[in-house]
Amino acid sequence: MTEQRVKPEEKIFVALDYDNMDDALRTADKLGDTIRTMKVGLQLFFHAGPQILHRLNEMGFQVFMDCKFHDIPNTVAGAADSVTQHGVYMFNVHCGGGLAMMQRAKEAAIHRAKAQGLTIPKVIGVTQLTSTAQETLNREIGIPGDVRDIVVHYARLAKEAGLDGVVASGHEISYIREACGEDFLTVIPGIRPTWAGANDQKRVMTPGEALRLGAHYLVIGRAITHANDPRAAALRILEEVRQEAN
Ligand SMILES: O=C(O)c1cc(=O)[nH]c(=O)n1[C@@H]1O[C@H](COP(=O)(O)O)[C@@H](O)[C@H]1O
């Protein structure tokens, strides 16, 4: 899917970070006519199991399984094989696992999807979490240098491994595009409309700004799911997305 063909409602992935399936499905139901892709993270997955992936598919959503695999290549290949069996549209792995790990994840996804006649899932590399500030990267994680340079380094590595794109913050979009080309997907969390709080996110940006910089997809959780009216919040964000598309 190239950038030009992505409709505004396809640009937003809603993070269903709930501790039970009922709440997740209730919110998904409210967003059914506005949003195309739901993100399932580990919290919801460990409550609901793989069933949640199928329920969302049956409701007409694409599913981004946010499992952030990071292990030895053989183990990640096995996990990629398993998640692909559930017909997910996208899943992610940590770029920090290295080139071979990312390659094996994508290869396993292709292999399993072909064997079962499924669409090959997009495999996305997580560069540096949007909750990681410059100081955290250097002092706690122990990686010297600028966050932006590390993110671009990981994005290049993800591309070399054959992944479809990366997760990064809005602040790195233009550098990733420059390094990896405009078709290499940028999936951007840490999105905060001006009317929402930052919470635990550090490298944040508004939807409009991220799209102006060329983001392909925006991952949005609490600004929608914690809103009094999630549908109204989603529509408000979509309006901002549409304005950027015009
Ligand atoms: O891979 C992700 O989706 C992800 C990567 C990252 O660097 N930062 C990040 O916030 N996320 C996810 O994006 C969502 C953001 O949620 P909110 O902060 O509530 O909008 C959460 O589900 C996070 O797990």
Cβ of 190 closer than 6 Å to ligand 1, yes or no, is yes
> The domain containing residue 31 runs over which residues?
9-245
pLDDT > 90 fraction of the chain, expressed in percent and rounded: 89
The pLDDT, as a whole number, for residue 5 is 61
Q: Considering the domain boundaries, does residue 28 fall inside one?
A: yes
Whether 4 shows a pLDDT value over 80: the answer reads no
Q: Considering the domain boundaries, does residue 164 fall inside one?
A: yes
Q: Considering the domain boundaries, does residue 1 fall inside one?
A: no
Whether 191 shows a pLDDT value over 80: the answer reads yes
Best of 65, 130, 171, 173 for a ligand 1 pocket test (most atoms within 8 Å of beta carbon): 130
Q: Considering the domain boundaries, does residue 3 fall inside one?
A: no
CATH number of the CATH domain containing 187? 3.20.20.70
ipTM: 0.98
For 17-68, write each residue's pLDDT tens digit.
999 999 999 999 999 989 999 999 999 999 999 999 999 999 999 999 999 9
The pLDDT, as a whole number, for residue 227 is 95
The alpha helices in 117-145, defined as continuous H runs, are 134-135
- CA distance readout (Å), 97 to 38, 72, 73, 76, 139: 25, 7, 8, 9, 20
Scanning the structure block, which residue is given the tokens 């993100």? 39
- In whole angstroms, give the CA distance from residue 123 to residue 214: 19
Query: Which token pair is 102?
Result: 């990312």
115 CA from centroid of ligand 1 (Å): 31
pTM score over 0.90: yes
Q: Residues 39, 43, 44, 45: what is their CA dihedral angle, to the nearest 10 degrees? A: 90
11 is an active site residue? no
Q: Considering the domain boundaries, does residue 152 fall inside one?
A: yes
37 CA from centroid of ligand 1 (Å): 14
Q: Considering the domain boundaries, does residue 155 fall inside one?
A: yes
For 120-150, write each residue's pLDDT tens digit.
999 999 999 999 999 999 999 999 999 999 9
Best of 37, 219, 237 for a ligand 1 pocket test (most atoms within 8 Å of beta carbon): 219
Whether 168 shows a pLDDT value over 70: the answer reads yes
Q: Considering the domain boundaries, does residue 217 fall inside one?
A: yes
Q: Considering the domain boundaries, does residue 195 fall inside one?
A: yes
Give how many domains the chain has, as a whole number.
Answer: 1
- In whole angstroms, give the CA distance from residue 17 to residue 41: 6
